Structure 1
């Protein structure tokens, strides 16, 4: 029977502001990508989201983005490879403090927004992200867009790569996501989203916005927690996967540092 992880980007409020209903969506998930304070999130939201995920048995990952709170990390920034490396180390380090305090493992890293999309097509950015992850903990898994430069970089550096597909985003012919500013970028129909998800899992391909089928590998499925109706989307997709006999399961993780002589 096919297996897939089900993830969402959470903890994206800060101070008195909220983005999405994390408490309602988390029970539907197997993994959570938690914002680390640059594009969204702060110390309080990180702590609270980690605690909630731990209570529900949802795997926790870091969700680092560009340092762009005003633009929610969705505006591309021109940074050197060193700067990308440093912002990833800084943010993953921040969240790992909260997972350690909660006595749970930080299991994966998934870049956010413009950083994620840039890494999908820009090998130097992808390499810098992967180097940062590897230097922090080589056992951390990398969540990256299926077929992207980020996936390639992670595999070359020996990381465990979890190839990601999206339920609520449309695709271009080259396998990238349709930019958010373009018509049709977001899939608003739950029935259309379910059809796309099942095609990606069972057939290994997705119908692009241009009507062409392109191959994908589906190890983890993402739904955006900040979009309107996200909780209903997550519930409907989870139910559809279960009906189809798909097993919802977080990726296997093992901390290689446990095996080092001490």
Structure 2
């Protein structure tokens, strides 16, 4: 690692003030940033540790929406009774993130703000039509994800919570690389206030909606409705673990499984 200053604020206001400094970076669970620091791939002047800010944690039901604090850990999303009752697919998804160590350190907000193409939560947020709440504004999911590791968050802007509308149905399925456990292709399906949405993660350089499958499921919510729909391999990832054509095939398979998961 390179030398850096370390700050641990106790409030959002204090954190925002520190993040306004030159080359300051927030750190939540550290599951992505710490390895980057260890390998000297990143060199922030200041790390702002968000773990001491109580107002960034917690899960609450507000009418027909579920609001989850950005510093809420994966294991808490997995086990929270309110999430299990309102959006059980989100609970099941959290239980599939990484391994036990990652689930006990990583946070929902950290994952969404990082927007790794292989991350799980971006698919859920986009499919459910979530709203991202920051210290400055509210950002709809359709406007939040801009590409690989890129979001609409501005420099110094802090994600504080994510608001999910409660869907009628939702399900998720993914194929994990057996060695790294990263997603090779995942699909989140949802039917709710945002309509029917099918979102793919892991297969390409960012999350994206599969609109042909959305139309099919709008007419007939069943695995058979998507079974014959082929995803184009154009623009999908291809590497030693699987070609773009293989990942395209996985999208259809995972979509069928996700609909089954939704019930």
TM-score interval, smaller chain: under 0.3
Relative to its length, the structure with more helix (as a share) is: 1
Larger Rg over CA atoms: 2
TM-score between both structures, scaled by the size of structure 2 = 0.27
- Work out which structure has the larger RCO, using CA pairs closer than 8 Å and 6 or more positions apart in sequence: 1
TM-score between both structures, scaled by the size of structure 1 = 0.27
Relative to its length, the structure with more strand (as a share) is: 2
